[in-house]
Amino acid sequence: MNTPATHERLRFNMIEQQIRPWDVHDPLVLELLNTIRREDYVPAVHRALAFFDMELPLDHAAEPGQTMLAPKIEARTLNDLKVQPHESVLEIGTGSGFMAALLAGRAAKVLTLEIDARLAESAAKTLQRNGVTNVEVRHADGSKPLSSGPTFDVIVLSGSVARIPQGLLGSLNIGGRLSAIVGNEPMMRTHIVTRVSEGQWETTQPWDTVAPRLLNFPEPSPFNF
């Protein structure tokens, strides 16, 4: 029976058995995972699986294969980016809105782009229902060049790409960080790119994982023999 007490026990187990062992030690991140309830962002049919170490299908998606990322991936990303309360964030791939809610719990404001109109609408309603007021959900293709305008302190790609989107790097403020899961199955690697000066970026690759593709980002050409 899914009682509030059961959910709290499952949430505790998710944090202590899945997330903390993945080198997520920032107490502010761990507290966010306690207070922002993942089950509130999971499609109702899959809610019983909200606390498990797995991707979950997004029922409102027009394209097959769109999922919520596993909770440990979202938590480790947030942990490693060290988002500060004054910072602005761009997320590409809103999905359910859960990662946007986590980012909003650390940042001043979040702009999240979702290519699927139905997912964008659903996520916006979910965020509003859960009292998240510093997120703007925008129906847009994040693979397209950003219009001239604001730059960001943090950019998060909530899904994988074949290579770092170079066009996004120019949208980072000095000191800004971009996180992306890069590569091809069976193994991908998280890249965190920091803009250290006007023309200089530094990249770390702290951990390996696998995540579904973000739509419309370039893929390498197949070999021709």
Write the CATH number for 24. 3.40.50.150
Torsions phi, psi for 113 (to 5 deg): -105, 135
Note the pLDDT tens digit of each residue in 139-159: 999 999 887 778 999 999 999
pLDDT band at 1 (very low <50, low <70, confident <90, very high): low
Average of per-residue pLDDT across 14-24: 97
Provide the pLDDT for residue 63.
Answer: 74
**Is residue 223 a part of any domain in this protein?**
no
Average of per-residue pLDDT across 49-77: 90
| Secondary structure class of 78 (helix, strand, coil) | helix
**Is residue 201 a part of any domain in this protein?**
yes
**Is residue 224 a part of any domain in this protein?**
no
Cis peptide before 165 (omega within 30 of 0): no
**Is residue 214 a part of any domain in this protein?**
no
Domains held by the chain: number:
1
**Is residue 218 a part of any domain in this protein?**
no
| Secondary structure class of 41 (helix, strand, coil) | coil
Cα 225 to Cα 223: distance, rounded to the nearest angstrom:
6
**Is residue 81 a part of any domain in this protein?**
yes
User: What are the residues whose beta carbons fall under 8 Å from the beta carbon of 217, sequence distance 6 or more?
Assistant: 143, 161, 162, 165
What is the pTM assigned to this prediction? 0.94
Asked if residue 122 has pLDDT above 90, the reply is yes
Average of per-residue pLDDT across 193-197: 97
Provide the pLDDT for residue 223.
Answer: 58
**Is residue 219 a part of any domain in this protein?**
no
Residue whose structure tokens are 């996180």: 179
- Sign for the CA dihedral angle at 34, 40, 43, 44 comes to positive
Give the domain range for residue 136: 4-209
> Between 146 and 107, whose confidence is greater?
107
- DSSP lists the bridge partners of residue 28 as none
User: What are the residues whose beta carbons fall under 8 Å from the beta carbon of 221, sequence distance 6 or more?
Assistant: none
| Secondary structure class of 57 (helix, strand, coil) | strand
For the chain, the average pLDDT equals: 94
**Is residue 225 a part of any domain in this protein?**
no
Provide the pLDDT for residue 212.
Answer: 94
Asked if residue 105 has pLDDT above 70, the reply is yes
Closest CA to 173 of 205, 150, 190, 203: 150
> Between 148 and 14, whose confidence is greater?
14
